[in-house]
Amino acid sequence: MRRGYFLVFLAASLWGTLGIFATYIYRFGVDSFTMVFWRVLFALIILGTYISLSLRESPFTRERLWFYALYGLIGVFAFYTLYFYTVKVSSVGFAVLLVYTAPAFSVILGRLIFHEPLSKEKLVALFLVLIGVILVAGNVDFGVSTVAFLTGIGTGFTYALYSVLAKFGVRKERPERVLFMTLLFGLIFLTPFSKFSVPFGAIPYLLGLAFFPTFLGYVLYNHALKEVEVSRASIVATVEPVVAIVMAFFLFGEKLTFIQLVGGTLIICASIIVHMGKRGETQT
């Protein structure tokens, strides 16, 4: 079980590099949909090669295609469409804040679908996460439209649904193949909205974006869901914005305020509470 939490932490840390790669890629004038398209395409190539050479299997499967189509539609296309639209009509801080309503949805969905216990320690951790994310988000503009609020909440909900669908997927299939088929259908849905030409200088950053936060991050997370409850994994994964702001501080000199440090501390404390709570249940 401890291994599962460690994998979630590693995955979330890798997801924290997403904004770093995106910052470099945006400097080349690449739009959001095109960036996500190439991110998914390169990740598919890397993942397909890994499955074929290391696991000696075909990355494709004809089973449960409806499931992977639904997974790709929600976990790849809908999530990123809602996220980038929320950024467009509000602000990055507001979008990030509502993405991390996902743990609340995950606790509810985990209870309804997987009958995961709604323990006191989960509720305390969830409260710390929500307060911590508000502080980490920094100068968030709350004077936004109803549409921005609804699309932001939709982002958090689809993010939570990703974990739920992954939990179903890894029950009967390798996590690597589940991810491959999900990304494949996500790519199909993204294609009509993407431009296919990108500057040559952006390619190394797109490859890094595809390998670290996409291929490696999601493979680790899907493996973790074999051992960790959806609700607990979602709470631990909120270390992602903490990693992001710390890396932005060192790489780009972005301001790191005392309030953000307090928020990051609350998020990390929530992760520790979730882990220690599970250890206590196991010992009991």
Domain-by-domain residue ranges, the chain? Answer: 2-283
Give the pTM: 0.83
Return contacts of 173-177, CB within 8 angstroms, 24+ apart: 173/61, 173/63, 173/64, 174/51, 174/55, 174/57, 175/219, 175/222, 175/223, 175/225, 175/226, 176/47, 176/50, 176/51, 176/55, 176/59, 176/219, 176/222, 177/51, 177/57, 177/59, 177/61
- Residue tagged 């395409």 (tokens): 41
Whole-number pLDDT of residue 278: 58
User: What pLDDT is attached to residue 95?
Assistant: 74
8 Å CB contact between 262 and 131: no
Looking at residue 267, its pLDDT comes to 84
Unique residue bearing structure tokens 């809908």: 78
What distance in Å separates the CA atoms of residue 112 and residue 116, rounded to the nearest whole number? 8
Residue 1: its pLDDT value, please?
55
Report whether 14 contacts 211 (CB < 8 A): no
pLDDT (tens digit per residue) in 119-176: 888 888 888 888 888 787 665 555 678 888 888 889 989 999 998 999 999 988 999 9
CB 1 within 8 A of CB 185: no
The rounded distance, in Å, linking the Cα atoms of 157 and 175 is 22
Say how far apart CA 214 and CA 219 lie, in whole Å.
8
What pLDDT does residue 147 have? 86
pLDDT at 284: 38
Please list the ranges in the chain whose pLDDT falls under 50. 282-284
Helical (H) or strand (E) element with 34 = helix 32-53
Angle at 12 between CA 9 and CA 15, to 5 degrees: 155
The pLDDT score that the predictor gives to residue 88 is 76
Structure tokens at 282: 């196991």
Give the orientation angle of helix 2-15 with respect to helix 258-283, to 10 degrees.
160
